[in-house]
A and B are shown apart, each in its own frame.
Chain A
């Protein structure tokens, strides 16, 4: 190693605490504005890409942002439900393809998305292992979800109970994994997909139990009369849908009244889109129709404003840090005057003394720059993960 660089290195190592403090300060001040910019840019791209790919979303009146985030990113804040009949109404109107989305439930922090098969075609999701959904009680898992839960085709996924203290609440359903999706670099990678009816079974709106007409189920009969058979609490309910008990699963009431979190509408053309949007404009309308790209633009506008404030704050902080670091360097140079005089007397070359004097400043700045660069690259690589995490919070 070059002599003066070696001395510079030894100086920085010997004064490691001071070097570390300066290094951290300079790294942070360089990284914050750049890293934030990279994070916002990449998150914006990811958010916008999925929003643009989703033409219209219909849901209950309320926060449009919450509705979009839940429908597109399966966020944890579940919007008020709308009846499934709305999806049927849109579909039968001939104006758009309606894809119902029921995102209320989860399994090990992965959203369970109850939907129709059209969703997979609409998002261009490919099954890399196994097959698509075919019957009740089956699920298809996203690539990251499969990895994180450690499941493959043939394994089982259990829905998480909504509250362990609610004895009247929803009981976990054990679902067989029949397919694993290819990596799509989207929130679909983290989801568990089930048929809409399966999600209603998870909710307790449909169920399967012993056939009370059979003699071996007599212990579960509370009352038997001309109008029918009433079960008591001891009747065995199934928490897994198998080929043997599939027939016993049934829904009470009209399916159209069952809830969905939202409906994705894919209009046939511009005119259909305009007509469909017009249907939800009435003041007394209990539902809203939103264009996700518009909602995301508003969100990103807010994020950009916040980013500008943060950047301005970082710039001010940066000035203070640079001033403090400058003072530290200046004092350090003054303290090293005697050292410089010694090496001058011994016979050091002029450039060596210059290098020695500049070593602390340049060394710390270069290291800070490198560290800030590394952090920016790391941020860039994980911006998508951060964006998804923030959206799901």
Chain B
């Protein structure tokens, strides 16, 4: 569960200010953040993930209060509990598909890379239809394939929360659906909460709820 209360945040430079009086997202819920550019969707995603610490107020993710954690603790918490999907995929060019999926296990002592993890990674890649591309490098993948790899990377540690920042922003319609299908399927099978930033209103009916940052109001439980 994500629980935000009296959150106030502003960047040291600039006029931007985000105020979230109260927001709760339940376990296993799928929520879309919509709204114009600069309205604070990505900032809130980063606050929930602990990438940036909140200025005032509290952010509780999976029962842990982000605002009282040290930087080191936030990193360890993030890698174990939160899967991140980026608009630009952010795959490492010098790693193969399999190594990119295994990346979280290579960059933190909080996760242990075992044979079972490796097998699960291969199975995930197989599941997204890229089983024969395990050793291929990102430069030789299509945009859709890259995002599928990024999704596999995010869900491999079986996080309770998946945060996706415009995961379909760079994809054509066919790949958009494919990637969202995968994302929802994994979130559902792992009973993970899914929060995604999107500009695409056509996708909103796939989420349990959409939060419009323009008015900062919960518009509807669209899928409920």
A binding-site residues for B, Cβ under 8 Å:
3-4, 6-7, 10-11, 13-15, 338-339, 342-350, 352-353, 356
The 9 closest A-B pairs by CB, nearest first: A347-B79, A14-B94, A3-B106, A348-B107, A347-B78, A342-B90, A347-B75, A352-B107, A11-B94
Which listed residue (A3, A15, A338) contacts B107, Cβ 8 A?
A3
| A-B pairs with beta carbons under 8 Å apart, 9 shown | A10-B95, A13-B94, A15-B94, A342-B86, A344-B51, A346-B79, A346-B153, A347-B80, A347-B104
Main secondary structure of the interface of A (DSSP, over half): helix
Contact between B107 and A10, CB atoms less than 8 A apart = no
Partner of A349, one of B72, B84, B94, B153: B72
Chain A residues with Cβ under 8 A from B105's Cβ? Answer: 3
Minimum C-beta distance from B197 to chain A (A) = 14
Q: How far is the CA of A356 from the CA of B107 in the complex (A)?
A: 9
Q: Encode contact with A along B36-66: 1 for CB under 8 Å, 0 otherwise.
A: 0000000000000101000000000000000
Query: Is A10 a contact partner of B94 (Cβ separation < 8 A)?
Result: yes
CB closest chain-B residue, reference A338: B90
Q: How far is the CA of A342 from the CA of B49 in the complex (A)?
A: 13
User: Which residues of B come within 8 Å of A, CB atoms?
Assistant: 49, 51, 71-72, 75-80, 82, 84, 86, 90, 92-95, 99, 103-110, 113, 137, 153
Within 8 Å CB of B104, what residues of A? 346-347
Inter-chain contact A343/B107, CB cutoff 8 Å: yes
Q: Are A6 and B106 in contact (CB under 8 A)?
A: yes
Q: How far is the CA of A25 from the CA of B82 in the complex (A)?
A: 44
- Cross-chain contact of B84 among A10, A13, A346 (Cβ < 8 A): A346
Task: Provide the bound-state CA to CA distance between A11 and B103, in Å.
Answer: 13
Whether A347 touches B76, Cβ cut-off 8 Å, given contacts A3-B105, A3-B107, A342-B86, is yes
Residues of B within 8 A of A6 (CB): 106
Distance (Å) between the CB of B198 and the closest chain A CB?
A: 19
Known contacts A3-B113, A4-B107, A15-B94; A349/B86 CB under 8 A = no
Nearest A residue to B94 by beta-carbon distance? Answer: A14
A346 to B101 alpha-carbon distance, docked (Å): 12
A343, B84: Cα distance in complex, Å:
11
- Chain A residues contacting B79 (CB-CB under 8 Å) are 346-348
Contacts of A346 in B (CB 8 A): 78-79, 84, 103-104, 107, 153
Which residues on A sit within 8 Å (CB–CB) of B95?
A: 7, 10, 14
Minimal beta-carbon separation of A15 from chain B (angstroms): 7
Which residue from chain A places its CB closest to the CB of B104 in the assembled complex?
A: A346
Bound complex: CA of A344 vs CA of B75, how far in Å? 8
CA of A6 to CA of B78, assembled, Å: 22
Shortest beta-carbon distance from A341 to chain B in Å: 8
Determine the distance from Cα of A364 to Cα of B103 in the docked complex, in whole angstroms: 23
Decide yes or no: A347 and B108 within 8 Å by CB, A14-B94, A338-B90, A342-B86 being known contacts: yes
CB of A271, distance to nearest CB on chain B (Å): 78
Asked if A345 and B106 make an inter-chain contact with CB atoms under 8 angstroms apart, the answer reads no
B106 touching A4, Cβ below 8 Å: yes
Closest A residue to B106 by CB, please name it.
A3
Interface centre among A6, A15, A342, by most chain B C-beta atoms within 10 angstroms, is A342
CB distance from A137 to the nearest CB of B (A): 70
Task: Give CA–CA (A306, B92) in the complex, Å.
Answer: 49
